[in-house]
Structure 1
């Protein structure tokens, strides 16, 4: 490998985590994101470095366009599935990777990730670049080969569609409104208080752990929105009482834990040290749960199990255990380490 190749390899590695985070936000899948990063690397390796003005801009553009093309195909595949498609949850592990760190800095909630499926591929790209990666409209225009005004319109239209779906969006546009743009952002709905959200998640965990069905009913609004990748679950729920009954039955025999999922607290149902289900919630102003998302498909839970399941935790603890460290257990799941 000559000096130019080494320099290109180093520049790509410096961007890898950001490219992965961008592709994951676009596609909702680790595997698909990894494929995009690999394709970007192949194109980067073949490119003439002397003709590139900015490696970061070039790689971001290539990764975005690859993700848009892949998303167009995935939307057709996902629309033909019998069960509802849901994004792969991102569980922040005990030993965060570079991708974990990048995602934490560019976080979008799981509920928002799910609703991004409503956007057209280019709208989604513009929204993700603007909201999660803080790109201005001039940068987005170069990436998407559109005018800045068109990109501003796409982001505005995406925000309006998401707000109509009940998503509280925090405005991050530092430029809109300063020069009288046509698509200046309107005041956004106030996002849920993270402390309040975490408090309700803990109450949900406790109610599930103690099989407190009445307590579960009190946590939900009268008619919560429920989305699941298991059609029979959605068909069985409509009211708070039905949701409580379904969750009580679903969690029977499971270990109930709280985890950090896409930057917010969520409930994990675990069986034999592996993820059995993930419960993500949205709360209203009265701190009752207005939306519940249930992920049960093994293919979407497998990555979380690999990085946060019992086997992964025990592997992580092996070097510590050899030095006689103590591990506090709750049920079968290690939650505290005293080195």
Structure 2
């Protein structure tokens, strides 16, 4: 078997080995699970049709194709999203109780939900350069090869992207994960206790609030407004903490399903400076599938169900005094 035949026979395995990373890249580029799945499928079709003799590096080829497919798709989506009356928010990525390959790939390229939201302000190629550099640790030479530009040009794009994001509110330094988790737990506990005064103390005076429910944003202009809105929304629900886009967040649960997700950014003195509230049923459905009651029962079923080889009979002797 010559080298071309070997590469051809290895193509399916090479793609499967890269699939989770390609999905993570497409999701970071597009902010949509469904769109990311479509991009990965399109990348597979191009991979399947490609001449094996031209494939020197599977990973580099697939990354390049996926990036360009995502850029093209993002150009179309930007126009579509701009016309939505209630704005647009990325799909939250909630880590499942039993992490999938995609979960593990996204864990290795963490990018908070707040950053994902602000990436919408970048031009498609700027977003690609930023995501490849910041989330996938590609150097400027690698990015230049992917985008067909010079390394200097790619460095400039990443620099512009960082400057734009910082102007839009992305902190220069990431919050300490332990501090972030502490504030999330305080938020969860205050919501569970319906402690409005405690909720007010968690927020800065004028927090930034973004939601896919416009009426929520209109009601939340101050710390007191944020506390009142969250207290009202939390009534009759269970509060859980979970991992959302790599950081702790709060889920409001009703009857075993996620009713809302609360993602925060913290500033000085561990006060909440930004709150993002996700309520859309379509955005929350994937999160419920991996974190809701049904997901818990799927994990517990092997534990609570008797082995198939054991037969219980009604006349089985039981000594109640034993």
Matched, 1:158 2:161: yes
* Among 267, 272, 278, the residue aligned to 2:255: 272
How far 1:29 moved relative to its partner? 1.0
How far 1:312 moved relative to its partner? 1.6
Matched, 1:85 2:88: yes
Q: 1:171-190 alignment to 2 at 5 Å?
A: 189-190=172-173
Question: Is contact 2:8–2:52 with CA below 8 Å preserved after alignment?
Answer: no
Matched, 1:282 2:256: no
Taking the aligned partners of 1:287 and 1:153, their CA distance within structure 2 comes to 33
Corresponding residue for 1:335? none
CA RMSD of aligned residues (A): 1.2
CA offsets, 1:151-200, max 9 Å, x none? Answer: 100000000011112212xxxxxxxxxxxxxxxxxxxx332111111000
Secondary structure, counterpart of 1:81 in structure 2: coil
Taking the aligned partners of 1:56 and 1:4, their CA distance within structure 2 comes to 13
Corresponding residue for 1:40? 43
* Among 90, 111, 116, the residue aligned to 2:114: 111
Q: 1:188-227 alignment to 2 at 5 Å?
A: 189-227=172-210
Matched, 1:60 2:63: yes
Secondary structure, counterpart of 1:72 in structure 2: helix
Question: Is contact 1:61–1:143 with CA below 8 Å preserved after alignment?
Answer: yes
Taking the aligned partners of 2:302 and 2:8, their CA distance within structure 1 comes to 37
How far 1:254 moved relative to its partner? 1.1
* Among 105, 121, 131, the residue aligned to 1:102: 105
Q: Judging by fraction of residues, say which structure has more helix.
A: 2
* Among 139, 148, 151, the residue aligned to 1:148: 151
* Among 25, 35, 39, the residue aligned to 2:28: 25
Taking the aligned partners of 2:210 and 2:204, their CA distance within structure 1 comes to 15
Taking the aligned partners of 1:4 and 1:139, their CA distance within structure 2 comes to 23
Matched, 1:7 2:4: no
Taking the aligned partners of 2:303 and 2:158, their CA distance within structure 1 comes to 48
Q: Which runs of 5+ in 2 are unaligned?
A: 308-322
* Among 251, 254, 268, the residue aligned to 2:234: 251
Question: Is contact 1:26–1:124 with CA below 8 Å preserved after alignment?
Answer: yes
Give TM-score scaled by structure 2 length: 0.92
How far 1:6 moved relative to its partner? 3.7
Secondary structure, counterpart of 2:64 in structure 1: helix
How far 1:286 moved relative to its partner? 1.2
Matched, 1:51 2:54: yes
Question: Is contact 1:84–1:230 with CA below 8 Å preserved after alignment?
Answer: no
Taking the aligned partners of 2:96 and 2:300, their CA distance within structure 1 comes to 13
CA offsets, 1:100-132, max 9 Å, x none? Answer: 101000000111111111101000000000000
Taking the aligned partners of 1:98 and 1:296, their CA distance within structure 2 comes to 26
- Count the aligned residue pairs: 303
* Among 110, 120, 134, the residue aligned to 2:123: 120
How far 1:5 moved relative to its partner? 4.6
How far 1:4 moved relative to its partner? 5.2
Question: Is contact 1:256–1:270 with CA below 8 Å preserved after alignment?
Answer: yes
* Among 293, 296, 306, the residue aligned to 1:310: 293
Secondary structure, counterpart of 1:92 in structure 2: coil
Secondary structure, counterpart of 1:293 in structure 2: strand
How far 1:145 moved relative to its partner? 1.0
Which protein shows a greater Rg?
2
Q: Which runs of 5+ in 1 are unaligned?
A: 169-188, 325-339
Question: Is contact 1:223–1:240 with CA below 8 Å preserved after alignment?
Answer: yes
Moved segments of 4+, more than 6 Å: none
Secondary structure, counterpart of 1:253 in structure 2: coil
Taking the aligned partners of 1:119 and 1:72, their CA distance within structure 2 comes to 11
How far 1:242 moved relative to its partner? 0.7
Taking the aligned partners of 2:141 and 2:174, their CA distance within structure 1 comes to 27
